[in-house]
Amino acid sequence: MKEINFITQNNAKVAELRAKAKQFELTINHISAPYPELQADTLEDVVRYGLAYCQKKFPAPFIIEDSGLFVDTLHGFPGPFSSYVHRTVGNRGLVKLVGEGVPARFESIIGSCYHDFRLFRGQVEGRIVRSRGRSGFGFDPIFEHEGRTFGEMMIDEKNAISHRSEAAELFLKWASTVI
């Protein structure tokens, strides 16, 4: 069985990736360690910086993942600043700020380090709603996709449509042939 290290402090991301990796001959090892998150305009820049830092500290093959919630009416905010917004105003504050029913999308970039760096991208469209459901993490209860929030979905249901799952599928397909 091939093994890949996933460097993240977010256990829920690991659970989602592991559920996805079951379809492939790959094991995800969790390395729970921090790495500096660059304050940049794009998730791609954050991930490239993180990969370069982690390459000096952790054994390849490894991946990191950065994700964010992008609201069109706010020109993509909070986007790469999602962690900060979640930490400060929280879900209730964000709904107040952007308004209910406003279109938004989640984006995910998985960065892998093997012989070189590669980026894999996924996204999912939805809208911001008042909090519903207790599953998942972060903004899941206020992100609605086709009538249900991510907070109302089991992990496999979220994985059938989510931004992270789309990026993971691309990564896992590549990794299962190359690594």
The residues that touch ligand ITT, with contacts defined as CB under 6 A, are 8-10, 13, 65-69, 82-83, 86, 106, 136-140, 150, 162, 164
In the complex, the smallest distance separating the C-beta of residue 7 from ligand ITT, rounded to whole angstroms, is: 8
In the complex, the smallest distance separating the C-beta of residue 35 from ligand ITT, rounded to whole angstroms, is: 8
The CA–CA distances, whole Å, from 159 to 24, 107, 122, 163 equal 15, 14, 12, 8
Q: Would you say how long the chain is, in residues?
A: 179
Q: Which of 41, 45, 66, 72 is catalytic?
A: 66
Strands 117-128 and 103-113: antiparallel
In the complex, the smallest distance separating the C-beta of residue 169 from ligand ITT, rounded to whole angstroms, is: 15
66 tagged catalytic: yes
User: Exposed/middle/buried for 135, CB within 10 Å: 0-12, 13-18, 19+?
Assistant: middle
Q: Which is nearer to ligand ITT, 123 or 176 (CB)?
A: 123
The tokens for 115 are 């012989």
| Strand order across the beta sheet in which 26-31 lies | 26-31, 2-7, 62-71, 103-113, 117-128, 143-145, 148-149
Read off φ and ψ for residue 103, nearest 5 degrees.
-65, 140
Q: Which is nearer to ligand ITT, 145 or 164 (CB)?
A: 164
Q: Nearest residue by C-beta to ligand ITT?
A: 138
Contact 109, 67 (CB under 8 A): yes
In the complex, the smallest distance separating the C-beta of residue 177 from ligand ITT, rounded to whole angstroms, is: 25
What is the residue type of 26?
Answer: L
Q: Which is nearer to ligand ITT, 14 or 175 (CB)?
A: 14
Q: Which is nearer to ligand ITT, 1 or 72 (CB)?
A: 72
Which positions are catalytic?
66
